[in-house]
Structure 1
Amino acid sequence: MTFNIMTVGQRGRLTHEACLFAATLRHNAPGWDGRLIVAEPQPGDRWSDDPRIPAGPQRDLLESLGAEIVPFESRHFGSYYPNGNKIEGLVTLPDGPFMFFDTDTVITSDISTLDIDFSRPAASMKREGTWPEIEIYGPGYNDIWGVLHARRGGRLADTLDLNWPDEYWQRYLYFNAGWFFGQHPDAFRRAFLDAALMIRDDPPDEVACQVLDPWLDQAALPLAIHELGGGRPGDKGGIDDGLLDGSHSFHYRFLPLMYATAPDHVITAVQAATAPNPVKKVLKDYEPFKRFLYQPKGGKARALFDRSDLPRKEQAIRNRLKREGLWLR
């Protein structure tokens, strides 16, 4: 199956993460033959500094791994909301089936073997009930999601997971925007962008008091996916659940969390992909990668936790890592 992949490359942490993503993709998915597009925001009025990937070893490594660094202009977001890069950056993709991954992701198995129906978009279910924030006397989930879907021409009833009770967050279509896919990137970009701008610039009364930073992309993504005929993985979405964020990829967010929580196959795949000298030489220039990938901090973080009995709240994991001097970001 041929499809293209997009991630975002930007000066700083995202540059290093993009290198790790590309290294794991090339090593662990040898059968994948699409284009890897690293969408690069360009300087402009919406950036307070130059967001481009600097010339040097990281940029060289990306290109040696077959990444195409493609510029795009930030028209609607920028430094005040860099999560908007994943929306506006879709313009860099050629037409055809595509996947987007956050840079803080590793590929752990050959994604070319996945059976994906790109005509039924889906996104990551590795999320918590972060948005909307329900006030005691304010509108509930039915009111908020109902009016948002109606604004985009959808029906709330068509999005509900009836395995969960009324007014419980998991009943409603909600994703982590760490990965998503679709058939046509331009159509996906327009639906995603229009939903985000509607929520930000012309919100219904039910949403007017909601906090949108950093949740705007995750508030808009369900509207876009529903509008384009998709849904949850394993449900209306065009991929089985448990493959991405499971057997074939891992969204780590911060490397200490990966070592603390990831299954063994993730660590094995990452270590194999980062062992070659040309990759190691570049990755170890970034302090968290040096300390966790190539020095003992990764093993120490892993020894602190039982992956079969992790704390229910991520904050408890972070707090223990910090107490042990194992938190770098």
Structure 2
Amino acid sequence: MAKPFDIVVVGQGGRVGVEAALFAASLRNAVPNFPGRLIVLEPQPGGAWHGDPTMAPELRGLLTDELNAEIRPFEARHFGSRYPYGNKIEGLLVLDADAPFVFFDSDTLAHGPLDQVNFDFDRPAASMRREGTWPELELYGPGYAEIWTSLYDKFGLDFDSSLDPSQPDEYWERYLYFNAGWFFHRSGPEFGQRFLDYALAIRDDPPEAAALQSFDPWLDQVALPLVIHSFGGGRPGPELSGLDGDITTHYRMMPLLYARECDQAVAAAETAMASNKVKKVLKEHEPFQRFILQNKGAKARGMFDRADLPRREQAIRNRLKNANLWMR
């Protein structure tokens, strides 16, 4: 039996909160006797947020009363409105120091035995479902190795041991790079503090080789491999293949869920929304309304062969846009 752990997502007003509730509902269906806690990190008004980022009362009630989630508030001091992806960094600081956690982006669905995944919380890892989005090389500018080396050097980390020697020099997959859609560690505050320290240092004082690179929206994904490497972690092994596979799906947007994801993920979303208590609160979110409840998802799904998808996500987006089936 795998050791119990906390599952952590971010929830706030708007899209992120309703997606967190859909994730929570899918988790309760997939693992009804999940032995750990489901913690929803909620940014509070003030600090780096303009306005009120908290969830509506009916959404909070759905999460706590019906889906057995714990809402844990935190103050965003460094990112907030300017960089909402920073929620996943600052929110970790309010977790329990001695409780292992797995963080998921809120736009994720659970559809398999997540409680049975063999996490090694002393060796963190993160999602490899990513494209080569960073860095963006410029003509006559530094290459991948020079840019990444400068970041490892900045934090006193060994660069060579992070490389995938099966990939050629100056090919992006040779360098440790994750999607921040899921990651885990033995301690939220310990991991979160280092994540915060590295992210702020990169944002505010990047090394010369990386100074011309854009860190918005990529800052979390630039800092994450450095943090994971610093804790002795790295690329996930086969024991984690169910994440982004048979156990969880990071769909990101409703049109992409129906266009490219597995049947189990689609079924997880539709089963979650079939509950009257869930539907009552989440039906006002237009992407859920159109794609799940009004069956636009079936039309989008019929446009693609999941066994022969376009290699680049942008091609999928363009086809959906041309069919008036694109929503964020």
TM-score range, shorter chain: over 0.9
Structure 1 position 328 matched with structure 2 position 327: yes
Deviation by residue 1:239-270 (Cα, 9 ceiling, x = unmatched): 63421111111011110100000111221232
Match of 2:193 among 175, 190, 195: 190
Tell me by how many angstroms 1:17 deviates.
0.6
Does 2:161 correspond to 1:158? yes
In the TM superposition, residue 31 of structure 1 has moved relative to its aligned partner by 3.5
1:114 pairs, out of 89, 114, 117, with 117
Q: In 1, Cα distance between the equivalents of 2:13 and 2:134?
A: 29
Instruction: Tell me the residue number matched to 2:233.
Output: 230
Residue 268 of structure 2 corresponds to which residue in structure 1? 269
Distance 2:49 2:264 in 1: 39
**Take 1:253 and 1:315, find their aligned partners in 2: how far apart are those partners?**
14
Matches within 5 A, 1:1-329: 1-55=3-57, 57-63=58-64, 64-94=66-96, 95-234=98-237, 240-329=239-328
The residue type paired with residue 160 of structure 1 is L
Distance 1:250 1:118 in 2: 21
> Displacement, 1:285?
1.7
3-state DSSP class of the match of 1:137? coil
TM-score (norm 1): 0.96
1:208-247 superposed Cα distances (whole Å, 9 cap, x missing partner): 111010000000000000001100011xxxx634211111
Decide which moves more: 163-172 or 61-70: 61-70
Amino acid at match of 2:194: A
Q: In structure 2, how many angstroms separate the alpha carbons of the residues matched to 1:167 and 1:205?
A: 19
Contact kept? 2:8, 2:38, Cα under 8 Å: yes
State the aligned residue count: 324
Query: Retained in 1: the 8 A contact 2:94–2:189?
Result: no
Counterpart-to-counterpart distance in 2, 1:13 and 1:241: 28
The more displaced of 211-220 and 151-160 is 151-160
Task: Decide whether the 8 Å contact of 2:117 with 2:240 is kept in 1.
Answer: no
Deviates more, 1:198-207 or 1:43-52: 43-52
CA positional deviation for 1:153: 2.0
1:41–1:74: 8 Å Cα contact kept in structure 2? yes
Q: Distance in 1 between matches of 2:75 and 2:47?
A: 10
Between the aligned partners of 2:91 and 2:246, the Cα distance in structure 1 is: 27
Structure 1 stretches lacking a partner, 5+ long: none
Give 1:97 shift: 0.8
String of CA shifts for 1:45-101, please: whole Å, max 9, x gaps: 41121111122x212111120111111111111100010000000022112110101
Percent identical residues: 58
- Give the superposition deviation at 1:321: 1.0
